[in-house]
Chain A
Amino acid sequence: MMNINRRTLLGSAMAVSLAVTLGACGSDDGNNGTGPVTADQVQAALDAGGTVTVWAWEPTLKQVVTAFQTKYPKVKVNLVNAGTGDKQYTALQNAIAAGKGVPDLAQIEYYALPQFALGKSLTDLGSFGAGELDGTFTPGPWASVKSGGTIYGLPMDSGPMALFYNKKVFDTHGITVPTTWDEYVAAARKLHAADPKAYITSDTGDAGFTTSLIWQAGGKPFTVDGTNVKVNLADPGSQKFSTLWQQLVSEKLLAPVTGWSDAWYKGLGDGTIATLVIGAWMPANLETGVAPAKGDWRVAPMPQWTAGGTATAENGGSSLAIPKAGTNNALAYGFLKYATAGEGVKIRLDNGAFPATTADMKSDAFLNKEFPYFGGQKANQIFAQSANGVVPGWSYLPFQVYANSIFNDTVGKAYVSNTTLADGLKAWQDACVKYGKDQGFTVN
């Protein structure tokens, strides 16, 4: 158990090592939420007990709560599912605005974190000594929860992308697994020509997917420096994406099925949607949602923009953060650390979650796990490799939740009319710029 005092930690690297040996000397109340809180104080809060309210929809947290309550019998964790994604953010935003009913901990996806950070709604976890966890998490997620020296949450899972493909369909039509995006388009053509009912993948315009592909292509369409925001959805990375994807859209090689709908699951199961380029958290969803196709699917590295490359991007993934208006910060941090960097991690992995922790990503048990769903393939090796290849330097808009909500108003037009993806991205950029200015940012 390390005892780190925040003030000491701020000094220098030398001071950090001193602090570890000297231990913490602060003795103020750990629940006031302003000053630094030491590990001792968190421990004391855990021993003293109390109630922590957690808003999350991540399924494996249930088992973590059970184990946590067994370890700290005086603590009661109240796990509430306040909706998934947007719905939860709306509820959280309303609770914060009302100043009432705010949870002690909330699940927030990486793309939404800046919006809450900007609203000054989240506690800086640096004051709990979260800085010492540098290196515990894989670089992508760690960068996502940090902004200008402030740590707004701890990574709970991550979504380095990979190519999931239906091997049975590929074998039937003699299609080889694409390693580049050009090969992917060729495979799309070949598949649809061989079976007009089959599509390489489905897409009706998905902001998360689009931004992830731009990310992989090296695009940096959003640059944020405080309240100065730049939006450029015509940068080289974005252009790479729009040029490539436009071919699939124009030639009608994409199944017009919206993700997560019944038709989507059906298509994944019956071979009419042959691949998915998506985050590494997908296997659990395939196992439960597309059970009949067990054994048909395999995992391969994400197709590349340049042959022989290893660049990847993150897709989805969440953090747990402590809203400022929560009542029991020290206790909340106790659970947060347990679930994201402590014993909770293993419990979540055993139940099918994908880690954001370096140690687990490197462990033999993890890497050599065989997935019966993928015909015994050791899929985690591909995911772990993908986690290492995530292109650095990406950032989302400080109002990405809103931006994503109007994605289909703008870019979506390319899927149902003669508008091109490039024009759609331009329209999206304009709408983002307008909203940003309305909200008081300095844009472009």
Chain B
Amino acid sequence: MARRRSWTGWAFIGPFLAVFAFVFLAPIAYALYLSLFRTRLIGGTSFAGLENYERALTDPQFWSAAGRVALFLVVQVPIMLFLALLVALAIDSGRLYGKAFFRVTVFMPYAVPAVVATLMWGFMYGSQFGLVGNLNESLGLSLPDPLSPGLMLASIGNIVTWEFVGYNMLIFYSALQVVPRSLYEAAEIDGASQLRVIRSIKLPAIRGALLIATIFSIIGSFQLFNEPAILQSLAPNVITTFYTPNLYAYSLSFSGQQYNYSATVAIVMGVLTVIVAYAVQLRATRKER
């Protein structure tokens, strides 16, 4: 039986598709296009094929940047999510006095723009004129310099944790809110302890939220940019122009005029992010079965 094709559906998604193509697909396509060329100060633009990709895959600066954000991901994300989960469970437990107050204060840092937050922390970290310097002076301490090469990544991790614990807490908390209260009552009748309730009811119930938060955090870690970019002015010798992949792409294009290679770095990093995020998701869903 021949069915007449209906175009009504297209008319409904048309406006969305147009915007989607324009603001989402077009930039990616343009970046891909840029990555295939090479523009030089002497000699102008020429087609380079996959040369830029070859260069990116063997570029020690790029890999040191990627390695750094991977380390950041492995250390900072678990700490942050654990803290967020702890706070969400505490608030959800109903045993906390002034629940609304805690919820708002823990979430508050997320409302502070990352740029402002980093500037603020930067002032505190200063071992010459900042809070660390003042503490050293007034209490006779000799705290290590948070902006030194060995501690910089940890200091950035601290800022990011401070910023995003509240955000992740809110995701977990709202997931906990939809758990049917009758389950808790049943558990209580069975004589289950609070810990047992958390392990057997709450955590399985918010599994989806945990996964989402993890994937967001993976993407966030790989895209680390604001915090190092701002701290760079305070510690220019520690935060190199290739400290994170995004910072590298930015420096390449804005001070080196290497737009083509910069686009390549951005694409390679995007692909890496997708692979890691997808692998995590695949693993999590397989476990569920």
Contact = CB atoms under 8 A, between A and B. Distances in A.
The answer to whether A and B assemble together is: yes
Contact of A255 (B43, B128, B240, B256): B128
Contact of A205 (B128, B149, B237): B237
A401 B251 CA distance: 12
Contacts of B256: 402, 405, 435
A171 interface: no
A230 B257 CA distance: 21
A439 B42 contact: yes
Interface in A314-353: none
Contacts of A401: 255
Q: Which of B40, B240, B257 has the most CB of A within 10 A?
A: B257
Interface in A349-408: 398-399, 401-402, 405-406, 408
Contacts of B148: 416
Nearest to A398: B41
Contact of B240 (A408, A440, A441): A408
B41 A412 contact: no
A93 B41 CA distance: 12
Given A227-B42, A257-B128, A263-B128, A416 B238 contact: yes
Interface string A409-423: 100110111000000
A118 interface: yes
B233 A409 contact: no
Interface in B235-289: 235-238, 240-242, 251, 254-258
Q: Which of A204, A205, A408 has the most CB of B within 10 A?
A: A408
B148 to A, nearest CB: 7
Q: Which of A255, A257, A398, A409 has the most CB of B within 10 A?
A: A409
A172 interface: no
Nearest to A424: B237
**Contact-size category for A:** 35 or more
Contacts of B101: none
B129 interface: yes
Contacts of B129: 257, 262-263, 266
B126 interface: yes
B114 interface: no
Contacts of B258: 438
Nearest to A266: B129
Given A406-B241, A409-B242, A417-B149, A440 B42 contact: yes
Given A408-B237, A415-B237, A439-B41, A402 B149 contact: no
A441 B41 contact: yes
A118 B240 CA distance: 27
A288 interface: no
Contact of A416 (B41, B42, B237, B251): B237
A405 B251 contact: yes
B175 interface: no
A399 B257 CA distance: 10
Contacts of B251: 405
A284 to B, nearest CB: 23
B203 interface: no
Interface of A: 86, 90, 93, 115, 118-119, 204-205, 227, 255-258, 261-263, 266, 398-399, 401-402, 405-406, 408-409, 412-413, 415-417, 435, 438-441
Given A118-B41, A119-B41, A205-B237, 18 more contacts: A115-B41, A118-B42, A227-B42, A256-B128, A257-B129, A258-B233, A261-B233, A261-B234, A262-B129, A263-B128, A402-B256, A405-B255, A408-B237, A409-B241, A412-B240, A435-B256, A440-B42, A441-B41
3 tightest A-B CB contacts, nearest first: A440-B42, A412-B237, A405-B255
8 contacts: A86-B255, A256-B128, A261-B233, A399-B41, A409-B240, A409-B241, A416-B238, A440-B42
